[in-house]
Amino acid sequence: MAKPRAFDVTTLPGFTLIAVLAFILLYAPIVTLVVYSFNGGNSVNQWGGFSLDWYAVAAQNEAVQAATARSLIIALWASVISTTLATMAALGTTRRGKFRGQTVIYIIINQPLMVPEIVTAVALLIFFSSVKIATGYTGLGYLILAHSAFCIPFAYLPIKARLEGMDTSMETAAADLYASAWQSFRYVTLPLLFPGVIAGAMLAFIISLDNVIITEFVKSAGQDTLPTYMLGQLRRALTPEVNAISTALLVVTVLILTLFVFVTKKRD
């Protein structure tokens, strides 16, 4: 009796066509954006010849420079804070047996993923407004804390996945050799966990760098990040400068992803 063939989704009628259409819908807008970032005209969607002028305009724009620096500072701090907290949370929920309330803790950690972002933004606005009134402080600390809180689940998931896929035999061997809990974590667990930590930090950095809604609600006057600056430009005079800035952000994202692939491959 012939053995039944395993189900293969690629053999379904129309699979290739649907796959091609999906890729076109995903990447055609991005390709169009990149192409028109080199537009020499003043229109965002009418070709006026090849030019790098809008990149020069964006690079020399002091508002863009300030917003870029602010975005990078916030994203760096948010990625460090959220990844540190996510690592501790992942260790606390995976390196022990099941306990009462574990599901509730998992839900709380991943709350920003399940609740609409606008709800989180409004809640942070109300909370930080009260703090601002009480303290008089209106610096970037609020944006850093808000982004950190929002990025925790994005850093937590890859770190947790890495921990769950790790073999615990080396940690057990370290304990048998009288290594303390800290020594075991520093010399055994953390090196093995490092690719997951890098993945979590990278994801948190990108999410923070790209965030608009929470930033728009929490920021004070004069604290525009690059995405909120672009949003403001869209409401005013729309020029290919926005395309150039968007393309630059895309390049930064691709570079970070490429660097992550090389780093994790080397560690593995």
| 96: its two tokens | 């022990």
By C-alpha distance, which of 210, 202, 166, 217 is closest to 79?
Answer: 202
For the entire predicted model, the pTM comes to: 0.82
pLDDT at site 221: 83
For the stretch 162-170, contacts whose Cβ atoms lie closer than 8 Å and that sit 24 or more positions apart, written own/partner, are: 162/192, 162/193, 162/195, 162/196, 162/197, 162/199, 163/90, 163/91, 163/94, 163/95, 163/193, 163/196, 164/94, 166/192, 166/193
Q: Which long-range contacts (CB under 8 A, 24 or more apart) does 89-95 make?
A: 89/152, 89/156, 90/156, 90/159, 90/160, 90/163, 91/163, 91/185, 91/189, 93/160, 94/160, 94/163, 94/164, 95/163
Helices (H), strands (E): how many in the chain?
13, 0
pLDDT at 4: 64
Q: What is the pLDDT along the chain (268 residues), one digit of tens a residue?
A: 556 667 677 777 778 888 889 989 888 988 888 888 888 878 777 787 888 888 888 888 888 889 999 999 999 999 999 999 999 988 888 877 677 777 788 888 888 888 888 998 999 999 999 998 888 888 889 999 999 999 999 999 888 888 887 777 777 787 777 777 788 888 888 888 888 888 889 889 989 988 889 999 999 888 889 888 888 887 777 778 888 888 888 888 888 878 767 766 655 4
HSE-CB for 212 with a 13 A CA cutoff: 6
pLDDT at 231: 85
Q: How far apart are CA 244 and CA 55, in angstroms?
A: 6
* CATH code linked to domain 61-267: 1.10.3720.10
